[in-house]
Amino acid sequence: MIYFDGVSKIYEGHAALDEVTLHIEPGEFVSIVGHSGAGKTTLLRLLLVEDRPTQGSVFFEKVNVHKIRSKHIPEYRRRIGTVFQDFRLLPNKTAYENIAFAMEASGKSDEEIRSDVPQVLELVDLGDKLWHFPHELSGGEKQRVAIARAIISQPDVIIADEPTGNLDPVNTYDVIQILKKINDMGTTIILTTHNKGIIDSLKKRVITMADGKVIRDDRHGKYVL
């Protein structure tokens, strides 16, 4: 479903990614590990077309994503849910409105929004915090809103870039459980993390990166650096 074909990304003479080639199949739960600066975020940014590769191509279901016309990029991005370490919620919108915004942007009807948003917030156990603004939520709660927003449009893939980086162990566990549940329902998950405990307990595919290169790719990997 996702295919990186010899992708390099050079920032001012420094290679953040160096000829990366990898496949991700539908329904996989892939973890990417590697030291800070290894190129994990860069890889995900290229998939989201937030940046262009210096060399090579990125395919999403046979489509070279960097050849998508900018007019159609919003449509493409709606097929990918994103969760980040810094939550990236709209600060002036409540939990409900943050999720409603994503649905409005994709042209969902008011009825769908009214019925789906409370449901998805219930799913991440925030049924009682619909009208809280991000600054009125804890880190774990914010991340659950972000996850709810990522899954609301039923994307094919969820990209989670260090989603637990700012969370305590209990919230970390919750977030990973939610991601697993989503994966069980058939959504592909790409997770980056520095948390050894998570990786070892997941027992899923692990891609290890160093200096912009993929150095290991294990079906049932462990956290080894």
Ligand X SMILES: Nc1ncnc2c1ncn2[C@@H]1O[C@H](COP(=O)(O)OP(=O)(O)OP(=O)(O)O)[C@@H](O)[C@H]1O
Cβ at position 9, least distance to ligand X in Å = 8
The order of strands in the sheet holding 213-218 is 80-84, 157-161, 188-192, 29-34, 205-210, 213-218
CA 142 to chain centre: 15
Q: Which does 143 bind (CB under 5 to 8 A by kind): ligand X, Mg ion, other proteins, none?
A: none
Per CB under 5 A, 41 contacts Mg ion: yes
Among 3, 59, 101, 173, binds other proteins (CB under 8 A): 101
For ligand X (CB under 6 A), the number of binding residues is 10
Cα torsion angle, 111, 153, 187, 168, sign = negative
From 56-64, 71-79, 163-171, 215-223, give the range in contact with other proteins by CB under 8 A.
Answer: 71-79
In the complex with ligand X, which residue's Cβ is closer, 52 or 181?
Answer: 52
**198: amino acid identity, one letter:** I
Tokens 């991340």 sit on residue? 143
Cα torsion angle, 91, 93, 94, 97, sign = negative
Among 31, 42, 171, 208, binds ligand X (CB under 6 A): 42
Cβ at position 162, least distance to Mg ion in Å = 6
From 32-40, 61-69, 93-101, 111-119, give the range in contact with ligand X by CB under 6 A.
Answer: 32-40
State the Cα–Cα distance between residues 17 and 56, nearest whole angstrom.
Answer: 11
